[in-house]
Structure 1
Amino acid sequence: MSLYRRRICIYCSATVLFVIIQSLVYIFYSSESYCRNKLEISIPENLSDKASILKINTRVLCWIPTTLKRLDRAVVVYDTWAKRCDQSIFVIGGSRPSPPPDTSKYPFTIAYLDNENVEKYKFLSEKVLLSLLHIYNNYGKDYDWFFKGDDDTFVIVENLRHFLRRRLSNAS
């Protein structure tokens, strides 16, 4: 008989404990709960746009190697993520065409390396090195970070800035 009483006592205790926990959870998550209102975190209006804060502290130049034949891809890259960089530069290995690309259709910066040989796929590493030299010589002191993407890459620039915000850009 004592085993039966012990089981009844454990069952009743567990039921009471369950009802208490369920009541506490209900009180905490109800919309008029005092506890829940105290835990609400308010963000000041001038700090509500985290992306703007990160943009001020982390200057990123995004450069994308492409070709004249793939400028339509460059438009898509610019419209989706590249315009979120502080500056985006599309690098073409060849020289500037005689009628330059229409700026209303291609509203981004295009840098020409004036070297037709690097437009071939097998010379891609040379194109990247020449692009880095061009960017360093022309923009090296204006930005903290340089990101190389491609015309088939997608980047969430805000996440990139968040990743880079605590790293030293001048560390070797």
Structure 2
Amino acid sequence: MDAGFAAVLGAAVGALGTGSAAIGAAVLARSQARAQLAAEHARIIREPRKAAYAAFAEKVLADHNRLTTAMNYLVINFRPARAAVREAALTSARQCYESHVADSELLGHRYAQVVVEGPLRVTSTAAASSAALAAFQGEIYQCLTELEDAGHSGDDREASMEERRTESHQAYLEFIHAASRAIAADGVNTMPE
């Protein structure tokens, strides 16, 4: 083989090897850049979701606890007690209920934030939690008005309030578990809906 031809062949093989290495490095760098962008995108999405979910959960729990306090005051009226004690309990129940109602607009705002952030499985549990809380509120209101108007409430009212309280708390727990799963998704391979 001619020395010139061997030199040209060697240069060509060297150039092909260098070019192939450069192409391989470019493909690898592109893949790494995409993965980094996907991870950053997931972080950018995760933070506002986390804030919206936490704000909604805190508001639902605060409202649930306020209504539970009102319920506990109302239950005093189902037990033998002096009239003054029952009257004070009824007044305290009314104050708890009115405090909840006065602050209820904020829950709608927090719910709207959750809906905007999504995903669907989280927003549906947020809707169920809001509905269960509203049913609990309605039961408290019914008992409160019956006690204020007639001085007594239906025999099954205490059990009904307890049932609505339990449903409200269960819906709250389902929301926080769905929210936790959505936030825990890494966003790269398992992005929620």
Compare relative contact order (CA 8 Å, sep 6+) and give the higher one, 1 or 2: 2
TM-score of the aligned structures, taking structure 2 as reference length? 0.24
TM-score by length of 1: 0.26
Relative to total residues, which structure has the larger helix share, 1 or 2?
Answer: 2
More strand by share: 1
